Amino acid sequence: MKHSCHGSRLLMTINKFLMMITLLLPLVLSGQDDYTQTRKKMVSHDIISRGVNDQATLDAMRNVPRHEFVPQEFRQRAYQDGPLPIGYGQTISQPYIVAFMTEAIRPQNHFRVLEVGTGSGYQAAVLSAIVDSVFTIEIIDELYLQAKKRLKKLAYDNVQVKNADGYFGWASKGPFDAIVVTAAAEFVPPPLIEQLNEGGRMIIPVGTPFSTQQLLLVTKNGGKIKTRNLMFVRFVPFTRDKGS
């Protein structure tokens, strides 16, 4: 009787496991999670409706799980169109701005892209879903470690993360087809211009910290640098190494 009882329990456990697999398998095969429909709604209501129409950018925004890049207490707000705190005085940008900046560099699947200001890693993940490789720099030690671990866990294998002062870029990995800066600088850092490939595009907020800044598009063509203001924005300040 004792062995029979154990056998019945084992059979029940196996049946429960098979039932769970049956329920979860469609989601796994379709690449869906609990937030899939919420992301689609976010893209439709907050991004396409405001003029972003690059298909690769829209697909990335639909697929990258933003809730994985925000603190647990903010997960229910992950797909609202607004910035959220990620600690250490930093934020994750609102989805529309992430999409807008991504589209602005005209990403192609062969691109090598530099990002300055990894933060939670969300912008890097969006870029990595489109381009060949992403090199992202974060100066805050704790955010660097968290983002590196998170991106590895989520299998964004074409992203490399560096803990350094982003002002100097990442010369050994350049030149870059595009550069995305996610913090407000008082001017465009010359090393970033140098590392921008011929024909490349850089998107960077420039202006006074804790005030309204200009989101600039910087282009390099024939060795000439041109800048154009795309919109007014508010980003956290560009953090520098105190020894620099």
**Residues annotated catalytic, as ranges:** 93
**For residue 68, what are its two tokens?**
């994985």
Which residues, at least 6 apart from 225, have a Cβ–Cβ distance to it below 8 Å?
193, 218, 219
- Coil, strand or helix: which one is 71? coil
Closest CA to 121 of 164, 167, 80, 152: 152
What are the distances in angstroms from CA 65 to CA 4, 79, 136, 179, 214?
46, 9, 19, 23, 28
Residue type, 24: L
Question: Nearest to residue 219, comparing CAs of 234, 241, 201, 197?
Answer: 201
3-state SS class at 179: strand
CB atoms within 10 A of CB 175: 16
